[in-house]
């Protein structure tokens, strides 16, 4: 028995030595740090992000790396806990000495890390949604997903075209729901839209008939918006039809997945929502600049992981490639130069849209990045 233990120890030593040895021959790698919520309540966001990063770091390394240097991905799972995210970010900066950081699956984990990257001076590209991440602009912080404000703007501009001015709103209790509700309230005036009813429901509620009936009884409501995430919006949609309401119903980009149509069934017909091009990759017109990018990513992801692509993985794809592109232009992994190069990103075509960053805009997307979709015959179709 001691002999086996000894052999095992020797073998472990051998493997350790081999691991330590191998990179010495090649060029010094560029280290990319990531902290993502791969487990926990935000796992459905973090898991595709993690998979996407791993897949494309592998692929880039197979093609010879960036500037002849291989990429090394160091990633930690923060389980959606802001405190853990902060500790892992400190670890990435102090212990792993990474050249840049990707991640922050949720707004909470991202905001907990912002003070750290700002004081340490490490380029940081977040994959979380809320506007607060980039407003006010923070020197080292960038983000790839659309904001909830843009979703509100896209919905309201569509309403304006349909001559809708008075609407009702029903929103959930989650972070996404509350943030988007607030943004919608903020920008409504610019589109001369009046929110005449503002109802909410709890995270575990399974019947929203009462709130919807209240909205229906408010005089002059021409449409209903539901800033929501998870199961809630599907229930709202069903209740909406059960009450025989015929006015237009708008959902948010938070439920832009096939699952929503499956849950809401026939009630989903006619529902409109803003969504990224990735969801409708196949039906995009060939003239669309984003079509090759989103179709390429979708096919690669679905072939490798045998599961449906999500916009969240797309955010990771964009973060990685904006970073890689910036490293190439900066001619190395120098932190200040990479930061400047990320800020100078122009005309990058990603899964989220066309990115044009500037000193004032650390996201670089405009409202055209959102496509207005309508559910027709149990599938998505592009409006107009």
Partner 1 sequence: MRRDTAVLLLLAVGIAVLPFALPNRYFYDVAILAGINAIVCVGLNLLIGYTGQISLGHAGFFGLGAYASAILTGYGCPAPAAMAAGAVIVGALAALVGRPILRLKGHYLAMATLGMGIIISIVITTEDRVTGGPDGMAVAPFGLLGWSVQGEEAWYWVIGASLVATVALALNLIASPVGRALRAIHGSETAAEVMGVDVARYKRMVFVLSAVLAALAGSLAAHYSGFVSPAKAGFMHSIELVTMVVFGGMASTLGAVVGAVLLTVLPQLLTVLKDYELLMFGALLMGTMILMPRGLLPTLETLWRRARI
Which residues contact partner 1 by CB under 8 A? 39, 76-77, 80-83, 86-87, 90-91, 93-95, 106-108, 111-112, 115, 130, 132, 173-175, 178-179
CA separation, residue 259 to residues 17, 51, 256, 378 (Å): 47, 20, 8, 11
Contact 270, 374 (CB under 8 A): yes
Q: Give the shortest CB-12-to-partner 1 separation in angstroms.
A: 13
Neighbours of 16 (CB within 10 A): 10
Q: Give the shortest CB-143-to-partner 1 separation in angstroms.
A: 14
H-helix segments, the chain: 2-25, 43-62, 82-90, 107-120, 148-161, 175-187, 209-217, 232-242, 258-264, 291-305, 311-330, 335-343
> Whose Cβ is closer to partner 1: residue 171's or residue 345's?
171
- Cis upstream peptide for 267 (omega within 30°): no
Cα–Cα distance measured from residue 83 to residue 167, given in angstroms and rounded to the nearest whole number = 39
Q: Give the shortest CB-360-to-partner 1 separation in angstroms.
A: 22
Cα–Cα distance measured from residue 311 to residue 314, given in angstroms and rounded to the nearest whole number = 5
> Whose Cβ is closer to partner 1: residue 208's or residue 355's?
208
> Whose Cβ is closer to partner 1: residue 133's or residue 373's?
133
Q: Give the shortest CB-82-to-partner 1 separation in angstroms.
A: 4
Question: Could you tell me if residue 125 is left (phi over 0), alpha (psi between -120 and 50 degrees) or otherwise beta?
Answer: beta
Q: Give the shortest CB-91-to-partner 1 separation in angstroms.
A: 5
Contact 318, 364 (CB under 8 A): no
> Whose Cβ is closer to partner 1: residue 97's or residue 299's?
97
Closest CA to 146 of 52, 282, 254: 254
Q: Give the shortest CB-329-to-partner 1 separation in angstroms.
A: 30
Tokens for 281, please give them.
Answer: 């990759």
> Whose Cβ is closer to partner 1: residue 119's or residue 368's?
119
> Whose Cβ is closer to partner 1: residue 28's or residue 39's?
39
> Whose Cβ is closer to partner 1: residue 178's or residue 329's?
178
Q: Give the shortest CB-237-to-partner 1 separation in angstroms.
A: 23
């Amino acid at each position: 028995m001691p002999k086996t233990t000894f052999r095992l120890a020797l073998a472990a030593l051998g493997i350790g030595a081999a691991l330590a040895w191998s990179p010495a021959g090649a060029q010094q790698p560029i280290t990319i740090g990531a902290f993502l919520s791969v487990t926990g309540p935000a796992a459905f966001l973090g898991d595709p992000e993690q998979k996407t990063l791993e897949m494309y770091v592998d692929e880039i390394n197979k093609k010879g790396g960036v500037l002849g240097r291989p990429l090394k991905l160091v990633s930690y799972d923060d389980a959606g806990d802001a405190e853990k995210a902060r500790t892992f970010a400190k670890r990435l900066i102090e212990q792993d000495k990474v050249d840049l950081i990707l991640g922050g699956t949720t707004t909470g984990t991202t905001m907990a890390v912002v003070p750290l990257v700002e004081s340490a001076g490490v380029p940081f590209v977040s994959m979380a949604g809320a506007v607060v991440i980039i407003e006010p602009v923070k020197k080292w912080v960038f983000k790839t997903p659309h904001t909830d404000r843009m979703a509100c703007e896209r919905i309201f501009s569509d309403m304006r075209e349909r001559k809708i001015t008075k609407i009702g709103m029903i929103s959930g209790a989650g972070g996404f729901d509350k943030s988007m509700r607030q943004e919608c309230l903020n920008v409504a005036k610019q589109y001369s839209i009046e929110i005449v009813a503002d109802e909410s429901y709890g995270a575990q509620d399974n019947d929203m008939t009462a709130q919807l009936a209240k909205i229906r009884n408010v005089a002059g409501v021409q449409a209903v918006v539901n800033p929501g995430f998870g199961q809630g919006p599907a229930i709202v949609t069903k209740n909406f039809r059960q009450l025989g309401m015929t006015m237009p119903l708008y959902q948010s980009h938070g439920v832009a997945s096939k699952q929503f149509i499956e849950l809401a069934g026939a009630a989903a017909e006619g529902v409109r929502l803003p969504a990224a091009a990735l969801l409708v990759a196949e039906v995009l017109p060939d003239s669309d600049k984003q079509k090759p990018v989103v179709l390429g990513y979708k096919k690669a992801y679905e072939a490798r992981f045998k599961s449906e692509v999500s916009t969240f993985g797309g955010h990771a794809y964009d973060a990685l490639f904006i970073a890689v592109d910036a490293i190439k232009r900066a001619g190395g992994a120098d932190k200040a130069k990479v930061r400047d190069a990320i800020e100078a990103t122009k005309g990058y075509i990603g899964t989220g849209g066309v990115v044009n960053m500037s000193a004032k805009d650390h996201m670089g997307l405009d409202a055209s990045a959102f496509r207005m979709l309508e559910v027709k015959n149990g599938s998505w179709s592009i409006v107009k």
